[in-house]
C-alpha cells in the first residue's frame, strides 16, 4: 500500500502525468470577453486526456501556459481561433512553434558547464579542453571508459567483411561531471537507428521506496542484508541486436576507422535493459535453485 502511494507521486508529493490529447472545451454562460479580448482567457475550461487514461477539466489560462502549441492547434481544428479569448495569442504562438519545440529538444545540449566545469559534447572538444587547461582529466575519463567497454568490441581486420545481417549504427560518448567531481565519459549506442525489435524490451526497475520497505522488513525481522554494485552491468549480457560501427578517435589512432562488431549489450541499444535483466535472472536461478 505504501509503495503504491509513493509510486503515484514525485518527491515533492505531486502527481506527474503526460498529456495525451485535448478532447473538449466549454464556455461559462454569461461570460463576455469582447470588452478586453487581448488580456483575458476567463470563462473557458479545457478538458484534458492524460496518458494514464484520466480526464480532467482545467482553466484555459493554465493549459495555455502549459501546452500553448497543442491548445492553439486544437482551437483552430475546432474553429475557436477567432474567439476573443483565443484570437490574441494563437497567431504568435503558432508563428514561434518551431522555436518552442527546438528549445525543448535542445534543453540538454544547451548546457555547457556543470559545477563550474566545462562539459564537452564530443571527443574533439574534450581534447581541446584538456589542452587549454593543461590537464588530462577528459582524456583519462575516455581511456577508462573505453577500457571498461573493451569486452563489447570485436574488431574486424581491414580486409574482413561485416557478417550478413549486421546493421551499422552510430556510437558516441556522453560526458558528465559527478557530484564528487569525477570526470565521466559514457560510451552509448545510437539505438534509435536500429529497427524496432520484435520481442518485448520492457525491463522492470526497483523503486527507492521498495528498497526502503525491504530495509524496514529486514530490521523488524532481524535479517542481515548484503548489497553489491555491478559495474558496467549491461556488458555482462549479450546483445539481441546485430550491430556494428566504425571506430572513432576514442578508440585510439591505431584502431580508428576499423569496423567493430558489438558483442555485448551496450547502453543505448533498445534491448540491452531486458537482455541484462534476463541474464541476471538466469544467473540467480542457477545459483539459488537446486538442479532438477
CATH for 16-105? 2.40.50.40
Q: Which of 247, 250, 254, 246 is nearest to 124 (CA)?
A: 250
Given this model, what pLDDT does residue 191 score? Answer: 82
User: How far apart (Å, rounded) are the C-alpha atoms in residues 204 and 230?
Assistant: 17
- Say what the pLDDT of residue 67 is: 85
Low-confidence ranges of the chain (pLDDT < 70): 1-17, 29-39, 52, 100-111, 196-198, 200-202, 288-292
| pLDDT attached to residue 164 | 92
Residue 120: per-residue pLDDT? 92
Residue 224's pLDDT is 92
Tell me what pLDDT residue 197 has.
67
For the stretch 73-103, pLDDT in tens is 898 888 888 888 888 888 888 887 777 666 6
Domain extent listing, the chain: 16-105, 126-288
Could you tell me the CA-to-CA distances from 141 to 145, 150, 272 in Å, in that order?
6, 14, 23
User: Cα dihedral angle (249, 142, 156, 162), rounded to 10 degrees?
Assistant: -80
What is the length of the chain?
292
Distance from C-alpha of 153 to C-alpha of 244, rounded to nearest angstrom? 9
Q: What is the pLDDT of residue 145?
A: 94
Res 1: pLDDT: 45
Cell matching residue 220: 523488524
Query: Three-class SS string for 279-291?
Result: HHHHHHHHHHCCC
- Residues 168, 243: contact at Cβ < 8 Å? yes
pLDDT at 111: 65
Q: What is the number of other CB atoms lying within 10 angstroms of the CB of residue 16? A: 9
127-160 burial, b at 16+ Cβ within 10 Å, e below that, comes to bebbeeeeeebbbebbeebbeebeebbeeeeeee
**DSSP 8-state class, residue 216:** H
Distances 279 to 28, 86, 230, 233, 275 between C-alpha atoms, Å: 58, 55, 13, 10, 6
The grid cell for 75 is 482551437
**Cα–Cα dist 64/73, whole Å:** 11
Give which of 130, 220, 118 is closest to 177, Cα–Cα. Answer: 118
- Nearest 5°: phi and psi at 153? -110, 140
pLDDT value of position 204: 74
The reported pLDDT for the residue numbered 258 is 93
Residue 5's pLDDT is: 47
Segment holding 98, helix H or strand E = helix 97-105
Q: What's the half-sphere exposure (Cβ side, CA atoms, 13 Å) at 176?
A: 10
- pTM here is 0.58
Amino acid at each position: 500500500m505504501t509503495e503504491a502511494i509513493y509510486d503515484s507521486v514525485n518527491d515533492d508529493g505531486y502527481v506527474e502525468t503526460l498529456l495525451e490529447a485535448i478532447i473538449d472545451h466549454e464556455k461559462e454562460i454569461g461570460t463576455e470577453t469582447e470588452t478586453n479580448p487581448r488580456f483575458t482567457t476567463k470563462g473557458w475550461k479545457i478538458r484534458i486526456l492524460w496518458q494514464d487514461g484520466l480526464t480532467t477539466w482545467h482553466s484555459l489560462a493554465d493549459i495555455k501556459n502549459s501546452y500553448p502549441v497543442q491548445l492553439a492547434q486544437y482551437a483552430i481544428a475546432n474553429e475557436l481561433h477567432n474567439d476573443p479569448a483565443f484570437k490574441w495569442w494563437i497567431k504568435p504562438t503558432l508563428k514561434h512553434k518551431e522555436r518552442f519545440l527546438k528549445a525543448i529538444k535542445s534543453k540538454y545540449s544547451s548546457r555547457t558547464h556543470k559545477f563550474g566545469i566545462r562539459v564537452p559534447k564530443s571527443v574533439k572538444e574534450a581534447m581541446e579542453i584538456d589542452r587549454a587547461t593543461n590537464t588530462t582529466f577528459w582524456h583519462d575519463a575516455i581511456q577508462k571508459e573505453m577500457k571498461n567497454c573493451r569486452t563489447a568490441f570485436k574488431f574486424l581486420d581491414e580486409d574482413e567483411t561485416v557478417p550478413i545481417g549486421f546493421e551499422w549504427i552510430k556510437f558516441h560518448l556522453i560526458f558528465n561531471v559527478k557530484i564528487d567531481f569525477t570526470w565521466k565519459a559514457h560510451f552509448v549506442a545510437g539505438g534509435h537507428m536500429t529497427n524496432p525489435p520484435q520481442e518485448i524490451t520492457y525491463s522492470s526497475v526497483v523503486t527507492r521506496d521498495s528498497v526502503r520497505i525491504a530495509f524496514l522488513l529486514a530490521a523488524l525481522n532481524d535479517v542481515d542484508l548484503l548489497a553489491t554494485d555491478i559495474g558496467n552491468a549491461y556488458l555482462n549480457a549479450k546483445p539481441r541486436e546485430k550491430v556494428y560501427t566504425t571506430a572513432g578517435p576514442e578508440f585510439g589512432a591505431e584502431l580508428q576507422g576499423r569496423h567493430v562488431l558489438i558483442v555485448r549489450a551496450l547502453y543505448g541499444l533498445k534491448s540491452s535493459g531486458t537482455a541484462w535483466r534476463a541474464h541476471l535472472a538466469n544467473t540467480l536461478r542457477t545459483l539459488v535453485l537446486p538442479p532438477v
